[in-house]
Amino acid sequence: AVALQIAALKAKYLTRDEVPEDVVANERRIAEETAKAEGKPEQALPKIVEGRLTGFFKDVVLLEQPSVSDSKKSVKALLDDAGVTITRFVRFEVGQQ
C-alpha cells in the first residue's frame, strides 16, 4: 500500500522537516502573492497563506498525504496504526533522467 501511495501521489519528501527552506519560502511567497491578487483582506493573509502551505505539504510530504487506501486517514496515521515506521523512500519514474 505504501509503494502504491508513493507511486500514485508522487511524494517528494518523507516529512515536513525534509522540505528545503528555500522551497517553503517560495511556496509561501506564491501563496501570499496569489491571495493578494485575489483581493483577499490583508488581515486574513497569514491564515490563508498557512492554509495553502498546509495543502502544499499534503501534496509533497508522504506522511501528510491522505492514504490511497483510506482517504479519511493520513499515511502517518495508517503507519502508526500498523506499528510501521518509514525512514526513507526512493521513487523512480519511467523516462526519468
pLDDT tens-digit series, residues 15-60: 999 999 999 999 999 999 999 999 999 999 999 999 999 999 999 9
State the SS3 of 23-49. HHHHHHHHHHHHHHHCCCCHHHHHHHH
CATH 3.40.190.10 for the 2-82 domain, yes or no: no
Question: Is a pLDDT exceeding 90 seen at residue 84?
Answer: yes
Average pLDDT over residues 69-81: 93
Percent of the chain with pLDDT over 70: 98
**Cα-based angle 51, 72, 13 (whole degrees, multiple of 5):** 55
Q: If pLDDT is split at 50, 70 and 90, which confidence band does 95 have?
A: confident
